[in-house]
Amino acid sequence: MLWHYTTVDALKQIVTSGAIRTQETVVIPGQQHAVWFTLSTTWEETANVSYGCMGQVTHLDRQGTFEHYGLARIGVATETAPHTWRDYKRLGGVASDYASQLYAIGTARGSRIGDWRVSFEDVPQSQWLAIEVWDGEQWHVIGDLTLIERLPIEGRELKAALAEASAREPQSRHCLAEVPPGRLLRSKVPYARRPTALRLLFTLSCTWRPGISSLGVATCPHRVLPQPAETPVDLRWRRGWASLRAGSTAS
């Protein structure tokens, strides 16, 4: 089985949309959109969240990402994403210098590049085999998909919520293909309204795309730490996030 690692915050939107979407904004002209997976059964280090403040970037490790954003993963069959890293470089229209940077970032963070797998198409909910959420000690299979909407995203609260859910109903594998795509949750914030930011060096990242947190695109807003002095980019980001929160509250 292959795994797409992400945060609980991003998982809510993925499940609501009914598919793991390919990268929406292309960093390099001509580069193909892709969805990233790995053979790793523990975690993918490039899925950790990074955030910027005053031109400085902080990279959270796995524990830090869990404590502030929660850890989640979606499992699919190996044939769903058959392309290896070499295939991606050959078929994805990736410039050699960009590929070298992604490779360097992955290895520096402890990723096994040989475990990476790629799909050049969206992966719909009908192809998902499992959804699991980390409680700080082990992965929990999510049998009741409506639970995802109610899950907190911060580690301590998330662990308590999963323990409570397990006590009420034993975990069981869920046949995800039987659930109509796009009808799993009531989305308070339409996927299309979520702001997208492009930064040349470092951006926030909430779904796993190797190295994208260091080189490319964020498709999911995060709670950025207060900034004493804001750049124009930071100001636009904050206003977009405030608008998003206002829309969610209004609904």
Tokens representing 39?
Answer: 């053979």
Mean pLDDT taken over the chain: 74
pLDDT at 178: 40
What is the mean predicted confidence (pLDDT) over 208-232? 37
Rounded Cα distance, 233 and 160, in Å:
37
pLDDT at 169: 67
- pTM as predicted: 0.69
Say if residue 205's pLDDT is above 80.
no
Tokens representing 248?
Answer: 């969610």
Rounded Cα distance, 207 and 228, in Å:
28
User: 65 or 213, which is more confident?
Assistant: 65
Strands 217-218 and 56-59: unpaired
pLDDT at 242: 59
pLDDT bin (cut points 50, 70, 90) of residue 210 is low
